[in-house]
Structure 1
């Protein structure tokens, strides 16, 4: 991976990485230091990065781990501070999250084609409204309206699903 590839494939996550550092460290200066340290480490191991399939997940996990290490170094006993939330998900949580993602994906598939396309471009591919408008030959206002309608419909479908689950639960445990 050369410098141009590194810049294109890694530095595009700069904002997310900095926000991750900021949320864990709660200190602007430390967050900037953590970001710079991670960039140096990534540059040094750039050859290994080419094998990473989910680059965003890898980078965010790397940043979080680096931040936790920095917090440990600040503690006299080398432990994670008590106010640091433990975030290792249990298998039950992972299964629930996977079910939720699958359910929402199926609900998105039920939306009208234009709304489905726009919500995927905006929320999954993280494209800007102007970019979506240009690709789909729409105005930015049309993209915004379709996105708003898609999100409203998704909220309604999720609420309906939750109500149905609640009814089933109540019937089962009466």
Structure 2
């Protein structure tokens, strides 16, 4: 496979790979490095592409495994979510501070989720993968994926509700 053909197949999933790496690793730099390393790995294994019916799921699986290996190697000892798509130049400074506080709170909630729930939540609700792709990426059964997603959503909802209820009663 020529370089141009390879890039045409990888470019549509490159951003999703980066976002998954960003969710699992500590920093943007680590996520960028991970994405580049995975793309290089995929380039070296391009002869195996014909064995996979879904290149996106394969690339996401390789990305997830690479990031988990990095974490296991103690290169990164903290997991956290970094989300900066909420920046909007036209909002007031107070609203910006509120949004930042809310994103930090959500980051903390998702970080506290068990690893499987965190990954399934990321893949389904953030990356918008369908359940079959999530099963392929995580090597989990359909029921386990749905249960993990349900539990993750429930924990997030409960913690957000408790925070807001607590904030209302304290004011």
Question: The TM-score by the shorter chain falls in which range?
Answer: 0.3 to 0.5
**With structure 1 as the length reference, what TM-score do the two structures score?**
0.46
**With structure 2 as the length reference, what TM-score do the two structures score?**
0.47
**Larger-gyration structure (1/2):** 1
